[in-house]
Chain A
Amino acid sequence: DIQMTQSPSTLPASLGERVTINCRASRGISNNLNWYQQKPDGTIKRLIYYTSNLQSGVPSRFSGSGSGTDYSLTISSLEPEDLAMYYCQQYASSPYTFGAGTKLELK
């Protein structure tokens, strides 16, 4: 199984700040990586697919990058509605494993 190591687990940040969340796969996943946002009500929303492609309707302040085993999600300027949990997921091979999550909170 491919293990996904996500960091940090908690990210305190200020509004307007640029933030980055990282995900490392235990072996190469050929850019087959999604990023999700989960709000406190439990709703899951896909933000980024195939490493760097923005899901329709997602604000352009979100971006993704990476290759091989290392990937990242960046929010260019933090807005109040971005305070949530974030997860990465590889879909290169089954089981389609997730990172442990990052809680983005106000500093």
Chain B
Amino acid sequence: QVQLKESGPGLVQPSQTLSLTCTVSGFSLTSNSVHWVRQPPGKGLEWVGAIWSGGSTDYNSALKSRLSISRDTSKSQVFLKMNSLQTEDTAIYFCTRCPGIRNHWFAYWGQGTLVTVSS
């Protein structure tokens, strides 16, 4: 069955770089895109960016200068890297699957991983 699982460091110091991994199963990254969404504690959801099935990327313009999304299709993993982290980047980070059929977008989500930016 379709599964997504985020993993990461938990705690990152301000100004440092965040590296997260989304490990997927039950589907192929070459025929599905994976999107990242984040949620600051007690706040709403924010779309972060995506890597499409063909490998191209799309980023939230507010984060674009600090953000990079890549993947390793052989390992079924998608990576998020964000530099120059600030306390405002503290959030739960989710990855979610978007297959080729638009109406199937965002049907499956990971459990999320909490990232705290603090010294």
Contacts and interface: CB of A to CB of B under 8 A. Distances in A.
A44 B102 contact: no
B47 A95 contact: yes
A96 B47 contact: yes
B105 A99 contact: no
A79 B38 CA distance: 28
Contacts of B109: 43-46
Main DSSP-derived SS at the A contact region: loop
Contacts of A42: 39, 92, 111-112
A89 B96 CA distance: 13
Nearest to B48: A95
B26 interface: no
Interface stretch (A16-24, A47-55, A60-68, A70-78): A47-55
Given A44-B112, A87-B45, A91-B102, 17 more contacts: A32-B102, A34-B105, A42-B39, A42-B112, A43-B109, A45-B109, A46-B109, A55-B107, A87-B44, A89-B45, A91-B105, A94-B47, A96-B35, A98-B45, A98-B46, A98-B47, A99-B44
Interface of B: 35, 39, 44-47, 50, 58, 60-61, 92, 94, 96, 102-107, 109, 111-112
